[in-house]
Amino acid sequence: MFEIIPAIDIRGGRCVRLLQGDYDRETVYDDDPVAVARRWAAAGAPRLHVVDLDAARAGAPVNADLIAAIARAVPVPLQVGGGIRTEAVARAYWEGGVERVVLGTAAVRDAGLVERLVELAPERVVVAVDAHDGIVRVNGWTAAANVSALELVARMTALGVRRFLYTDIARDGSLTAPNVEALRRLVAATPAPVIASGGVARVAHVRQIAACGAEGVIIGRALYTGDVDLAEALAAAAGAAPDPEARRADP
């Protein structure tokens, strides 16, 4: 089933959202991320996407204890990203109750790490493809990498990566619309499931993303502002039918 996945971005111990990944354009939505996680889980979210924004820039976990508290507090699985750049950190998250770890910077700079983690637990690894104008960005989206989104997907697919998360940074937190054209190309470029993120502003966007062949969508700001109601999004997801032609399109 197509999944609606609420985002919980943590910075300084609080639940925040950034506009287009810009740390200087932050909105604080709640001082208690654990309470937020409980709220989304109680409302029917099938899983939660948690990001340690501090760790994404620092390169090592900063809010790991808080994330562990979230994992203990909710009955739904977590996927966690931000600063996961060693096997030890990935293992610590898994052992702490996190179902999936999300690798972004590491996927660009340490393919060997991705390969080892995929060998250890292939279904518990997600590679984040965070792109601006088609070029991947790393270090909490603060630096451009010398690789395109499609090139990174090809490399990671060859290593056996079984799931991707694609974010169009220019749309993230903007409440405009998802970049369905870029998403469709990326979905067509790999046999692995793709989760979409960035730009969702209304329930109709959920159906558009499902029609691209994506496995699910992460929604952040729109849920916090009320532009998207989680119950309505879940209902739309239940009726959304991915387009079987999406994966046969030219990448």
Q: CA neighbours within 13 Å on the CB side: how many for 219?
A: 33
Q: Is 46 left (phi over 0), alpha (psi -120 to 50) or beta?
A: alpha
Amino acid type, 148: S
Whether 24 is catalytic is no
User: Among 52, 54, 130, 168, which one carries the catalytic annotation?
Assistant: 130
Cβ distance 194 to 247 under 8 Å?
no
Cβ distance 56 to 81 under 8 Å?
yes
Angle separating helix axes 180-188 and 203-211, nearest 10 degrees? 30
Q: Could you tell me the sign of the dihedral formed by the alpha carbons of 91, 89, 108, 48, in that order?
A: positive
Residue 14 burial by Cβ neighbours in a 10 Å radius (0-12, 13-18, 19+): middle
Interatomic CA distance for residues 243 and 251, integer angstroms: 15
Cβ distance 161 to 137 under 8 Å?
no
Whether 65 is catalytic is no
User: Among 9, 52, 54, 172, which one carries the catalytic annotation?
Assistant: 9
Positions marked active-site: 9, 130
